Amino acid sequence: MCVFFLLSLLAAFIISHNMIGAFGRIIRELDEIIAGHSQRAISSRPNDTLTKDLLKRINVLVEYYIKHENKNS
Protein backbone atom coordinates (compact mmCIF):
# COMPACT_ATOMS: atom_id res chain seq x y z
CA MET A 1 0.00 0.00 0.00
CA CYS A 2 2.85 2.36 0.83
CA VAL A 3 4.55 1.68 -2.51
CA PHE A 4 1.31 2.42 -4.38
CA PHE A 5 0.95 5.70 -2.51
CA LEU A 6 4.52 6.73 -3.30
CA LEU A 7 4.11 5.84 -6.99
CA SER A 8 0.87 7.83 -7.14
CA LEU A 9 2.55 10.78 -5.49
CA LEU A 10 5.47 10.61 -7.91
CA ALA A 11 3.15 10.42 -10.93
CA ALA A 12 1.15 13.41 -9.68
CA PHE A 13 4.34 15.41 -9.17
CA ILE A 14 5.64 14.66 -12.69
CA ILE A 15 2.34 15.53 -14.37
CA SER A 16 1.86 18.75 -12.41
CA HIS A 17 5.48 19.80 -12.93
CA ASN A 18 5.15 19.39 -16.71
CA MET A 19 1.89 21.32 -16.80
CA ILE A 20 3.08 24.20 -14.64
CA GLY A 21 6.32 24.53 -16.61
CA ALA A 22 4.49 24.56 -19.93
CA PHE A 23 1.90 27.10 -18.84
CA GLY A 24 4.54 29.36 -17.33
CA ARG A 25 6.43 29.36 -20.61
CA ILE A 26 3.25 30.05 -22.59
CA ILE A 27 2.42 33.01 -20.36
CA ARG A 28 5.95 34.46 -20.75
CA GLU A 29 5.78 34.15 -24.53
CA LEU A 30 2.30 35.72 -24.65
CA ASP A 31 3.61 38.63 -22.56
CA GLU A 32 6.44 39.12 -25.09
CA ILE A 33 3.95 39.15 -27.97
CA ILE A 34 1.66 41.63 -26.20
CA ALA A 35 4.64 43.89 -25.43
CA GLY A 36 5.63 43.82 -29.10
CA HIS A 37 8.95 42.04 -28.56
CA SER A 38 7.95 38.96 -30.52
CA GLN A 39 5.74 38.15 -33.49
CA ARG A 40 6.25 34.41 -33.73
CA ALA A 41 3.90 31.57 -33.00
CA ILE A 42 4.31 29.71 -29.73
CA SER A 43 5.61 26.20 -30.22
CA SER A 44 5.37 23.30 -27.86
CA ARG A 45 8.30 21.41 -26.48
CA PRO A 46 8.47 17.70 -27.31
CA ASN A 47 7.21 16.72 -23.86
CA ASP A 48 4.37 19.27 -23.74
CA THR A 49 1.72 16.84 -24.91
CA LEU A 50 -0.88 18.30 -22.58
CA THR A 51 -0.67 21.77 -24.15
CA LYS A 52 -0.55 21.00 -27.89
CA ASP A 53 -4.30 21.45 -28.43
CA LEU A 54 -4.30 24.64 -26.39
CA LEU A 55 -1.35 26.06 -28.34
CA LYS A 56 -3.12 25.50 -31.66
CA ARG A 57 -5.90 27.80 -30.52
CA ILE A 58 -3.58 30.31 -28.88
CA ASN A 59 -1.54 30.61 -32.08
CA VAL A 60 -4.70 31.42 -34.06
CA LEU A 61 -5.36 34.26 -31.63
CA VAL A 62 -1.72 35.40 -31.76
CA GLU A 63 -1.81 35.48 -35.56
CA TYR A 64 -5.05 37.49 -35.50
CA TYR A 65 -3.63 39.89 -32.87
CA ILE A 66 -0.39 40.48 -34.78
CA LYS A 67 -2.23 41.02 -38.06
CA HIS A 68 -4.55 43.61 -36.55
CA GLU A 69 -1.84 45.22 -34.45
CA ASN A 70 0.27 45.79 -37.57
CA LYS A 71 -2.69 47.39 -39.37
CA ASN A 72 -3.24 49.82 -36.51
CA SER A 73 0.42 50.85 -36.36
Radius of gyration of the chain measured on its C-alpha atoms: 17
Q: What is the pTM of this model?
A: 0.68
Question: pLDDT per residue over 1-49, tens digit each?
Answer: 889 999 999 988 887 877 777 788 889 999 999 898 988 888 887 877 7
Under 8 Å CB-to-CB from 27, ≥6 apart: which residues? none
Burial class (CB in 10 A: 0-12, 13-18, 19+), 51: buried
